[in-house]
Amino acid sequence: MSSTETGPAFSDLDEMPGGLRSMWRLCRLGYRHEPRLALAAFLIALFSAVPDSLVAVWLTLFGEGLLRSEHTLVYVAAAGLAASAAATWFLATVSTRVQRRFRDKVTIALEGHVARLQASIATIAHQERPALLDRLAVLRDQVFVLDHMYMSLFTTCGWILRLAVTVALLMSVHPALALLVLFAIPTVASASWRPAIERAAEERAAPDARLARHLFTAATTAAPGKEVRLFGIGDRLVARRRAVWEQWYRPVSRARWASAGWHTAGWTIFGAGFVGAVVFVSVGLHAPTPSVLLVLAAGARLSSYVGQTVGEIGFLRGMWMDGARRLAWLEDYAAALVAPADLPAPQRLVRGITLDNVCFAYPGTDRLVLQDVSLTLPAGAVVAIVGENGAGKSTLVKLLCKMYAPTCGRIEVDGVDLARIRSDDWRCRLAGAFQDFFRFEFPARQSVGVGDVPRIDDQAAVRVAVGRAGADDVVERLPSGLATQLGPTWPEGVEVSFGQWQKLALARGFMRDEPLLLVLDEPTAALDSETEHALFERYAAASRDNGAGQTNGRITILVSHRFSTVRMADLIVVLDGSRVVEVGGHGELMAAGGAYAELFGIQAAAYQ
C-alpha cells in the first residue's frame, strides 16, 4: 500500500518542518485572511519604534543643557521627550486596538483551519495513535494562542528597529561601541534555545500531562461522578493526579532551572560589556561629557532593547515557532494522507462489495486485527457480522467506511478499488450509527439532522428519520419536541438518558434516504432485546421491499451480540481470532454446527 494511503511512516513522526519556514507559512495564512489588518499592525509596530528610539538623544541633550546651563537646549530636550512620550503612547494605543482586532479575526481563522485539517484527513489513525495524540494535544493547547505569534513577530521587528537605531547612536561616539552587540550574543543564544529545551521536556512528558488532565476530568466532571462516589475513588484520583503531575513536573523543572542558569550567565556577560564600554569612552577616549551621557543613555536603553528583543525572540523561537511547526506538520500530514482517489462513488450497487485477502494492523502495532479476510457482500443484502469481543467486527466496519485503509489486500466496490474512490464522495453515500456515538448537545432537530447536513433543518426529513429509529417516544417526552435543547449544561437544556441518546443517534444514522452502505455497529446496545429485534425486523423488511433499498442495491451491515436480531440477516459473517470462519444464512450455519451454532446455542440457553 502506498504512503499516500497511509500517511507518513511511524519513524518519521518526529520530523517537523523547519521553524522559519513554518512561521512563514503561518504568516501567509494570516495575511491571506486579513491582509489589510496584518499590514497595518506591522507598520504601526515599526512606527512605534521611532519616537521610543529617540529618547536617548533627548536625555543626552537634556543632560548637556543642564551641565552647560543652556536653557534653550533644556527646553528643546524636554519638548522632545514629551513628544516622544506622547507619540509612543498614541501609537501603542492604536497598535493595541489594531492588533486586538487582527487577533480576534485570525483566531477564528486558525481554529477553523486546524479543525478543517483534522476533518479532511480521510482516516482516523491520528486520533487513535499515542504519538500523534500527544502532538495534537499540544497543538490544540497552542492554537488558541497561536494568533499571538503575529503580534510577537511585529513587536520583535519593532524592537530590532529600536536596537538598530541605538547601535547607530553608539557608533556615532566610536565605531568600536558596535561591539557591545557581540556581548549580547550569549543572551540571544540562550533565549533562543531556552524555550525549545523547555518545550522538548514538556513534550517528552506529554503522556503524563494528558493523564493528569484525564484524572482531573474524572474527579471533577459529572459523567464519572456516580462511579467515583460509588467506588470511593475520589481521594485515589486526587493522589494519583498529584503523583502524575509531579512525574511530569520534575523533568520540566530541571530543564527550566538549567536554561535559567545559562540565561543568567549570558546577561552577566552583557552587563560586563556595558560597564567596559562606559569605562572605554570616559577613561580610554577621554570623551566629552555629552558623549559619555549618550553612551550611558543609549547603553542603558540598549540593555532594555536587547532584553525585550531576546524575550520576543524567545517566545517566537519557543512557543510560537513551536506552534507554527506543529501546524505546518499537521498541514503536511493531512496532505500526505490524500490518497490518489480520482473516481466518484457509484450511484447504485450492482454486484456489491468484495474484500480480497484483507489484513489490517492498527498504526504503530504489528498485531493483525484482521487477517486474510476474503468476503463478498452482495448488493441489496442485509449482512450480520458476529463474533466475540476483539474478533475484529468494528475494525471491519471502519475499513468499509474508509476510516482506515487495509494494511494489505484490497476492498472493491462493484469491481473498483475502494482506495480509488474519493473519501468524501464515498462517505456521502454512507449512513449509520455506532455504539460509541457522540452526544451532539444541539437542539434535538439538529442533533438528528447532522446525519444529512443539507437537510439539517428539514423538520419533515428529521421526523421520518426519528420514525425509522423508533425514537418517536423520545421526541414526545421532550418539553419542546424537536426544538428542545439537549444537554443540561445549556440554557433551557434537558438531560436525556443514555438509551434516549442512543435512539437519537440511531435516528441520525437514518437521515440519509438512499445510502449505498448502511452500517449499524451495535447502535442499540442500551435498548432491550425485544425493542432491538422489532426495530431491525421492520428495517430489514423495508430494505428488501421495492423501495430505495432495492433500487440502489443498498447493503446493510448489522453488528450485534443478540442472535435473535442476527438471524433475520440474509448473510451472516462469523469472525473468530481476526479471521472469517463461517459465512451463510442462519439455517445453513445452524445445520453446519460450527462456531455460529455454538454461540447461538449458548445465548439461547441463557434465555431459558
What pLDDT, on the 0 to 100 scale, is given for residue 524? 65
H or E segment at 375?
A: strand 368-378
Residue 58 CA to residue 537 CA, distance in Å, equals 89
Give Cα 308 distance to the centre of its chain.
Answer: 31
Nearest to 138 by CA among 114, 107, 112, 102: 114
Identify the architecture of domain 13-336 in CATH. Answer: Up-down Bundle (1.20)
Checking if the pLDDT of 253 tops 60, the result is: yes
Residue 544 CA to residue 583 CA, distance in Å, equals 20
Pairing, β 352-361 against β 571-576: unpaired
Q: Count of alpha carbons within 13 Å of 208, Cβ hemisphere only?
A: 18
- Cβ atoms < 10 Å from Cβ of 338: 15
Nearest to 145 by CA among 326, 24, 16, 21: 326
| 508 neighbors 501 (Cβ within 8 angstroms) | no
Nearest to 455 by CA among 494, 513, 542: 513
Nearest to 433 by CA among 529, 507, 527: 507
Give percent of the chain with pLDDT exceeding 90.
Answer: 12
Average confidence (pLDDT) over 585-604: 83
What pLDDT, on the 0 to 100 scale, is given for residue 8? 42
What pLDDT, on the 0 to 100 scale, is given for residue 326? 72
Checking if the pLDDT of 296 tops 70, the result is: yes
Beta strands in 462-513 (DSSP E): none
Phi–psi pair at 158, nearest 5 degrees: -65, -40
What pLDDT, on the 0 to 100 scale, is given for residue 546? 41
- Cβ atoms < 10 Å from Cβ of 337: 21
Q: What dihedral angle (degrees, nearest 10) is formed by the CA atoms of 167, 170, 175, 179?
A: -60
Residue 285 CA to residue 281 CA, distance in Å, equals 5
The C-alpha angle 413, 349, 417, rounded to 5 degrees, equals 10
User: Tell me, what amino acid is at 62?
Assistant: F
Q: Which residue has the higher pLDDT, 34 or 410?
A: 410
The answer for residues whose C-beta is within 8 angstroms of residue 26's C-beta and 6 or more apart is 146, 149, 324, 327, 328
Least confident of 393-402, 423-432, 520-529: 520-529
- Cell 422489532 belongs to which residue? 534
Q: What dihedral angle (degrees, nearest 10) is formed by the CA atoms of 273, 175, 292, 85?
A: -90
How many residues comprise the chain?
608
Least confident of 96-110, 399-413, 435-449: 96-110
H or E segment at 124?
A: none
Q: Which residue has the higher pLDDT, 528 or 153?
A: 153
What pLDDT, on the 0 to 100 scale, is given for residue 17? 57
| 502 neighbors 527 (Cβ within 8 angstroms) | yes
Residue 557 CA to residue 352 CA, distance in Å, equals 12
pLDDT in tens, 15-57: 555 667 777 777 777 788 788 888 888 888 888 887 877 777 7
User: Tell me, what amino acid is at 479?
Assistant: P
Nearest to 150 by CA among 305, 315, 21: 315
- Residue boundaries of the structural domains of the chain: 13-336, 438-514
Q: Which residue has the higher pLDDT, 336 or 420?
A: 420
Residue 151 CA to residue 44 CA, distance in Å, equals 11
The answer for residues whose C-beta is within 8 angstroms of residue 401's C-beta and 6 or more apart is 427, 430, 432, 517, 519
Checking if the pLDDT of 317 tops 70, the result is: no
What pLDDT, on the 0 to 100 scale, is given for residue 2? 36
pLDDT in tens, 462-516: 999 998 888 898 999 999 999 999 988 888 889 888 888 888 988 998 898 888 9
Distances (CA, A) of 92 to 43, 49, 163, 262: 12, 10, 18, 33
| 157 neighbors 42 (Cβ within 8 angstroms) | yes
Mean pLDDT of the chain: 79
- Cβ atoms < 10 Å from Cβ of 141: 13
Average confidence (pLDDT) over 376-394: 88
Distances (CA, A) of 309 to 38, 41, 194, 317: 20, 18, 14, 12
pLDDT in tens, 128-167: 555 555 556 556 655 556 666 777 788 888 888 888 888 8
Average confidence (pLDDT) over 381-394: 86
pLDDT in tens, 198-249: 777 877 777 888 888 888 888 887 777 777 777 778 888 888 888 888 888 8
Distances (CA, A) of 188 to 89, 249, 267, 303, 318: 28, 26, 9, 12, 13
Average confidence (pLDDT) over 345-373: 87
